[in-house]
Amino acid sequence: MRKILVLIILFIAAVVAQGGGFALEYVESNSTYVVCENTSSLVMGTGDITVEFWCNISNSGAAYLVHQGAKGTGSAGYAIFITGSGEVWSRLANGSARQDVKGSIDVEDGNWHHVAVVWDRDAYTSIYVDGVLDIATATSYSGTDIQGSDDVFFGDKQSGSTQGLTGTMDEIRIWNTALSQSTIQYWMNRPIDSNHDYYSNETSDNLKAYYQMSDGSGTSLTDNSANSNIGTLTNMDDDDWVTSNAPIGCTISGNSGFRMMSSPVAGQIYSDLLSELWTQGMTGADVTSGDNNVWTYSGSGWTDVTDISGSGTSLTAGQGFLVYVYTDTDNDGDDDLPVTLSVAGTENSGNVTVPSSGSIADDAWAFAGNPYASTIGWDDVTQTAVTTSAYVWDSQAGTPAYISWNGSAGSLSNGLIAPYQRFWIQGDGGSGSITIAEAAKFSTAGTFYKTMNDSPGSMSFAILSRED
């Protein structure tokens, strides 16, 4: 007899940055910037352009984030800059005229934000902040060459100003194509590789420059594309290489109900990840009274988490837990969802074994999860003494039920498991485990599946038996 665990799993839309590794910190008073010499691969001419990056800005005035020329009407090129009010501006200039497009979202707030500007030369100039469209305006100068002879700059001061950028930048990417919003959203949370939809086409590579900030020291900035557009740090030294604390987290939307979660950050504690949600019934919660709303699965049943802030509450990679989410996240009587849960730290990397200690007994169930910010393929997960299937509960289906994949067939499309998706595995023979390696990552986006709503006093868990 095999047992199938019936469980409710709620949708979590993930937004993840590149936390861990290095970033470059720009200091206004020191007039710090990076310059990349103009090369043929950086010539945009009449083509489409996308520039994207992560930034944490605390400026008091205007400064360029990225630009190639475009310092005024008479300088051809493109630019992304901020003003004292903190909105993102884009500029496209042909040497005799320019088009400035102003966003509305403040990124000058001392928090990490992903910024992407897409110049579709035959359609729109679009500004995205954290994957969300801020503004789209019909693009001027269709078919007009905007290429000048200027180098590419990061963190540069505006013309006639001594003020540069005060803030930190990470993961700068320059493309000679117009990225779609879905592509921006999917790849903003992970390093670029050849699986990217727009990495190359039949005639050329679309990724013209890619700065992962992986150097960590020195005055050169490596271009991680195939084009070797090396940057030179100006008025900067080793002290300006800092640990990237870009947030790694997820956006919680929908109604009150259960969420199955884990953290992609090594050593993260519950209270850091759940700081934007209402918690109760445990040490470190918003209130210590009331019914507990955070649980772990012990292998045979659910256990209350009694402390979400103590030193012994670190989450291991691939560890899942259950939280009941209230739409009123601050107990003021108002619905607050959606909210974004964000944490800082180093993203999980390397092989992840579930369970992290011990093993899965014969017929026993284990609660596992995708530990990375990329979709993983179940077929590429090393399976030891477990059944061949991974199970995910899907209440989006006409008849809510488990969907599964056994390595060759099933209703879980091609065995793809999305970021932040929790799934179940079952022991088969004793001493069971799985190992999820980074080689299991897929560039294709998996689907994150929804659950029904429920109340914390009536968790809908049941163990049903069937013949294997």
pTM of the model: 0.59
Least confident window among 64-73, 134-143, 160-169, 392-401: 392-401
**Residues 119-129: tens digit of each pLDDT:** 999 999 999 99
Burial letters for 107-126: b for 16+ Cβ neighbours within 10 Å, e otherwise?
Answer: bbeeebbbbbbbbbbeebbb
Section 22-43 average pLDDT: 87
Note the pLDDT of residue 14: 34
- Nearest one of 377, 381, 351, 356 to 366, comparing CA atoms: 356
Q: At 381, which amino acid appears?
A: V
CA dist 330 and 289 (Å) reads 15
CA-based end-to-end distance of the chain: 6
Mean pLDDT of the chain: 81
Please, are residues 149 and 42 in contact by the beta-carbon 8 Å criterion? no
Note the pLDDT of residue 231: 96
For the beta carbon of residue 358, count every other beta carbon within 10 angstroms: 11
pLDDT for residue 168 is more than 80: yes
Higher pLDDT residue, 86 or 441? 86
pLDDT for residue 286 is more than 70: yes
Helix (H/G/I), strand (E/B), else coil: 101:
strand
Note the pLDDT of residue 399: 67
- Geometric angle at alpha carbon 119, from 113 and 121, rounded to 5°: 170
Percent of the chain predicted with pLDDT > 70:
81
Section 272-300 average pLDDT: 90
Percent of the chain predicted with pLDDT > 90:
40
Section 30-34 average pLDDT: 85
pLDDT for residue 423 is more than 80: yes
Note the pLDDT of residue 163: 64
Section 425-449 average pLDDT: 82
- Nearest one of 244, 106, 130 to 189, comparing CA atoms: 130
Residues in Cβ contact with 35 at an 8 Å cutoff, skipping those fewer than 6 apart: 151, 152, 153, 231, 232, 234
Note the pLDDT of residue 160: 53
Note the pLDDT of residue 110: 82
Domains (ranges, CATH) in the chain? Answer: 2-16+265-452 (no CATH), 22-243 (2.60.120.200)
Section 194-198 average pLDDT: 76
Whole-Å CA distances, 62 to 98, 163, 306: 18, 8, 48
Note the pLDDT of residue 96: 86
